[in-house]
Every structure is written in structure tokens, then in C-alpha cells.
Amino acid sequence: MNDTIGITALVPPELMYACGKRPLDVNNVVPVSSSSPSNKLCAWTAIWRDMILNGGLDIDSLVVVAGGDCHNALVDGQKAELSGMPTHYFFYPFDGDTDYLRSQLEKLVRFLGGIQDERMFSLISDLKAKGRALDELRVNDRARGSDVFSALISFSDLAGNPDIFGKTLDSVPRTDIRYSSRVALIGVPPIYPDFHETAEGFGLHVVYDELPYEFLRLGGSSLDSLASSYRDYSFAGPLKNRVRLIQDELLRRRVDGVIHYTQYACHHTLEDEIFRQHLDYPILTVQGDLPRPSTEQLKLRLEAFAEMLGVMS
């Protein structure tokens, strides 16, 4: 069986599969976890860190996105390394330097043992095209935002098996959607597993999920094309680029309002005032901490936001 490699944030999955490895996005186990770590800032990294230290994650090695993303992950990733987990550190360039990213991809390939199956590039490119078509379905009110989010969030690791994942994409229900307002969800994904369903319960149709869309938007079929594409990974670069990308998507998807999800003890929370300055939409900022069903307070705020958007439309 292929080695399973934990990843702490976006690492080009097409390259990992081409190297004969199976990526596992360690974040994807967090929203369904019942763990409550005692030593934590952000619960996302603390929970996967504890799972690695306790042997609760079946991975052979770990790739930590150390540059251009999350310093909590950098520290908790080093705790995993100190416990004996073989660990590699991957850096995105803040300035979008393609040559730098290409050198990072070369180092990653060496850590993974070399490229073995170039066919994985086109297979995963086809899956991403399918994912973008699915994303368009919800924009056109032909699929539920919650169903589409569940599928798109797995594009970071293709759920461990691209063939089975392709069938999962085909099985996402196609159905006419009724709603009162169209909203975008920006920021890191909610740690509450039922967030989208809860928003839908108040008539909010989520037509844009910022981070999962990055998983679909980027790709490539060689080290050069991967470097040219992934250098634009918006969460790792200047905020002005990210704001521009979000503005384009909000317009294209005809949203009525924006929900900015923030995570307790996450540096991205500081971005809220920048979004409020540059996004000309009603914005609701919410914050989560531990994985659990949506809280009553969150429900009240979503309901009030839905009512306000309904009055404005």
C-alpha cells in the first residue's frame, strides 16, 4: 500500500499522487473530532497534533506548510517531528516568486522519493474540472451549498483515492434550490461540521467557499506549471491579491452578503477590518473555537443576518 503523508495545509495533491503517495489533509479529521485539547491556541492544529502524538492518525510522514500559511501549524508540526514523525517543511513564497516555488516543489519531490506516475497529473486535472462544474451548479441554483462544500473541501487530498473521489463527485445531488439570500463564506473553513446546513436552515444559500475554491483554482501537469499556478495561492500571498480575487468572485456569483468565519487564536482574524474596508457588502463576522454542532449564539446571528439581507433585497 502507498505511504500516507499528512499535510497541514494546501500542498499540490497532483504532485503527491504522482510521487506514488497518498496525501491526508490532517485538518479534515478535526470537525468530526470530539477532542478538547488542553494545550492549545487554535483547535485545528492542536487536535491534529494530539492525534499524531497519540498515534490516532494513520500517517507515515508529515508535510508541514511552514511558510506562507500558519505559524501554529509550524510549531505543532515540529512537536510531531520531535516525537519521531518524519517531517518535511514546505514554503510558499509571499512575493509569488515562481523560481522559489519550483525549488520548493523539487525538494518536496525528493522527500517523497521522486515522480513515479505522471498520469496522475491529467487524472487530477480532470477531477478539478469536474469540481469547478459542481461549483457552478450551486452558483446556478442547481445544487445545495452544503453538498458542494462537503465535496470541494476534500480537493486538498482527494479523500485518499482519486478514483473513488471522482464517483463521489458524480453522486452529489442535483436539485433546484430555494433560498432567501445568496452568501459567500470567506476565511478559513468553519470548525462546525453543520455550518452550511445551519445557514441553509435560515434561507442562506452559500454560493462561494473561499478556501475550497483555491483547491480547485490551482493545478498543473509539470513542476513548471505547478509553480506558475500555486504561486498564486491566495492565503499565502499579499492580502491585496486575495481581496481582488474575492471581489471578482462575489460579483460573478451575485452574492447579497458575506460571512467571514474566523477561528479563535488564528492570525487570519486580524484580516476582518481589511475585508470590511474593501468588500462593499453586508458582512457578518463569526468565530468558532472547538469542533461541535453550531452553537445557539451562532444560530441567532445567522438568523438575524438572514433577516437583514431579506429586508434589504
| Binding footprint of ligand SF4 on the chain (CB under 6 A) | 42, 44-45, 70, 72-73, 188, 263, 266, 268
How many CA atoms within 13 Å lie on the side-chain side of 233? 26
The beta-strand segments (E) located in the chain are 4-7, 22-25, 61-67, 87-91, 181-187, 204-209, 257-263, 283-288
Q: Residue 6: helix, strand or coil by DSSP? A: strand
The CA distance from 141 to 273, in Å, is 31
Judged by beta carbon, residue 162 or residue 237, the one nearer ligand SF4 is 237
**Coil/strand/helix, residue 54:** coil
Q: Name the residue nearer to ligand SF4 (CB basis): 262 or 294.
A: 262
Whose Cβ is closer to ligand SF4: residue 181's or residue 263's? Answer: 263
Minimum distance from residue 200 beta carbon to ligand SF4 (Å): 23
Ordered DSSP codes for 143-191: S-HHHHHHHHGGGGTGGG-HHHHHHHHHTSPP-----SEEEEEEESPPS
Tally the C-alpha atoms within 13 A of residue 195's C-alpha that lie toward its C-beta. 27
Tell the smallest beta-carbon distance from residue 133 to ligand SF4 (Å).
28
Q: What is the DSSP code (8-state) at residue 59? A: -
Question: Based on CB atoms, which residue is closest to ligand SF4, 73 or 298?
Answer: 73
In the sheet that 4-7 helps form, which strands lie side by side, from edge to edge?
A: 22-25, 4-7, 61-67, 87-91
Contact partners, residue 208, CB within 8 Å, separation at least 6? 139, 184, 185, 186, 249, 250, 253, 255
Which residue lies nearer to ligand SF4 by CB, 146 or 263? 263
Q: What whole-number distance in Å separates Cα of residue 9 and Cα of residue 66? A: 9
Given the complex with ligand SF4, which of 75 and 164 has the nearer CB atom? 75
CB of 73 to ligand SF4, least distance (A): 5
Spatial distance between the Cα atoms of 207 and 182, rounded to a whole number of angstroms: 6
Task: Give min distance, CB of 23 to ligand SF4, in A.
Answer: 17
Cβ-contact 111, 101 below 8 angstroms: no
Residue 70 vs 148, nearer CB to ligand SF4: 70
- The least CB distance from residue 173 to ligand SF4, in Å, is 29
Q: How far is the CB of 46 from ligand SF4 (least distance, A)?
A: 9
